[in-house]
Amino acid sequence: MHPILKLVFQRLALGILLLFGASALIFGLTEALPGDAAQAVLGQSATPESLANLREEMGLDRPALTRYVEWLGGILQGDLGTSLTNKLDIADSVGKRLGNTLFLAFWAALVSVPLAIFLGLLAVRYRNRWPDKLISAVTLTTISIPEFLIGYVLIYFIAVKIGWFSPLAMVNDSMSLGQKLNAIALPVLVLTMVVLAHMMRMTRAAILNVMQSAYVETAELKGLSNFMVIYRHALPNAVAPIVNVVMLNLAYLVVGVVVVEVVFVYPGMGQYLVDHVTKRDVPVVLACGVVFAAIYIGLNMIADIVAILANPRLRHPK
């Protein structure tokens, strides 16, 4: 087997291992901490007898390992269990909301990724001059304010004072794509601002690193035009670090979504998770935790695999 395939398979295997590890960690946390689903249903005033009865009824008296294996087996077959509070099937609710969340994240990525790369290039082009300084000052400010506050600042100034877009991002199936996009304009803007700073800074660093290498100097000394230097020599080597930057920030975006959904009352996974944390609905929290962890681990894994595939030393071994 080509050694690069071996490395890719190794990384895939590690990703799967991490997924199992993460699910065990999340399940383990709910086990190790005081309180459980039965306690949550009955509240603090429950008598020990009623707790014990409910635990038996819910199967909570069986060993943790058995329940973990059952839970995991369920997830693998698409069964996430039922909610304690509204008795609905979790997989159904997650399915619809995950679609909404990914819709939001997708549009945020579509705006922020090209913008970040463009601004990163701009900052490198005008390094240490005013455009670079302005970009870094603005991005420093945006990373210094939590996502939810950026959200309210935008609602206050754009939705309320100017009157553009709705302060609430309600979407449902009967809306057209245009209506939906109009509804999510502000949350997309917030998410863009949140990831833009990190993504742009990291892109800038990655490009600078390549541009300062000796082989770019060689290309310049061949009399190539700036465009050719970048297109032929810088870009092939900058792709891997930039893809890496993008993936890491998409992972970050998935977390940012949680808070932004709450601000804009957007019917997605984040809102769903936070609601049920407050209600102490353990099965829902477990399911959401695993879904978020899976997305996060998956994106990180893709970043690593792209880096492996893009490395010429691995692609063309001696």
Other beta carbons within 10 angstroms of residue 290's beta carbon come to: 20
- Residue 177 CB, nearest distance to another protein (Å)? 26
Give residue for tokens 């302060």. Answer: 167
Residue 278 touching another protein (CB under 8 A)? yes
Other beta carbons within 10 angstroms of residue 137's beta carbon come to: 10
| Position among 153, 164, 175, 231 found at the interface with another protein (CB under 8 A) | 153
Which residues 156-185 are close enough to bind another protein by CB under 8 A? 156, 159-161, 167
Residue 25 touching another protein (CB under 8 A)? yes
Binding mask 202-231 for another protein (x = CB under 8 A): -----------xxx-xxxxxxxxx--x---
Structure tokens at 4: 């690069």
Residue 286 touching another protein (CB under 8 A)? yes
Residue 293 touching another protein (CB under 8 A)? yes
| Chain centroid to CA 202 | 17
Structure tokens at 223: 């009399």
Rounded Cα–Cα distance for residues 318 and 314 (Å): 9
Expressed in angstroms, the distance from the first to the final Cα of the chain is 15
Closest to 120 (Cα-Cα) out of 107, 135, 106: 135
Q: What are the two backbone dihedrals, phi and then psi, of residue 82, each rounded to the nearest 5 degrees?
A: -120, 150
| Position among 183, 282, 305, 306 found at the interface with another protein (CB under 8 A) | 282
208 Cβ partners below 8 Å, 6+ apart?
124, 127
Structure tokens at 68: 């973990």
Which residues 28-57 are close enough to bind another protein by CB under 8 A? 29-30, 33-36
Binding mask 89-128 for another protein (x = CB under 8 A): ----------------------------------------
Nearer of residues 1 and 162 to another protein, judged by Cβ? 162
Q: How big, in percent rounded to 5, are the helix, strand and coil portions of the chain?
A: 80, 0, 20
Nearer of residues 87 and 316 to another protein, judged by Cβ? 316
Nearer of residues 114 and 235 to another protein, judged by Cβ? 235
| Position among 95, 114, 131, 312 found at the interface with another protein (CB under 8 A) | 312
Give residue for tokens 């690193």. Answer: 209
157 Cβ partners below 8 Å, 6+ apart?
none
Structure tokens at 274: 């936070």
Nearer of residues 114 and 137 to another protein, judged by Cβ? 137
Nearer of residues 188 and 295 to another protein, judged by Cβ? 295
What is the total count of residues that contact another protein (CB under 8 A)? 74
Sign of CA dihedral 78, 80, 81, 84: negative
| Position among 254, 302, 303, 306 found at the interface with another protein (CB under 8 A) | 254
Stretch that binds another protein, among 17-25, 60-68, 83-91, 93-101 (CB under 8 A): 17-25
Residue 152 touching another protein (CB under 8 A)? yes
| Position among 105, 297, 302, 305 found at the interface with another protein (CB under 8 A) | 297
Structure tokens at 78: 């698409």
Residue 189 touching another protein (CB under 8 A)? no
Nearer of residues 61 and 217 to another protein, judged by Cβ? 217
- Residue 66 CB, nearest distance to another protein (Å)? 20
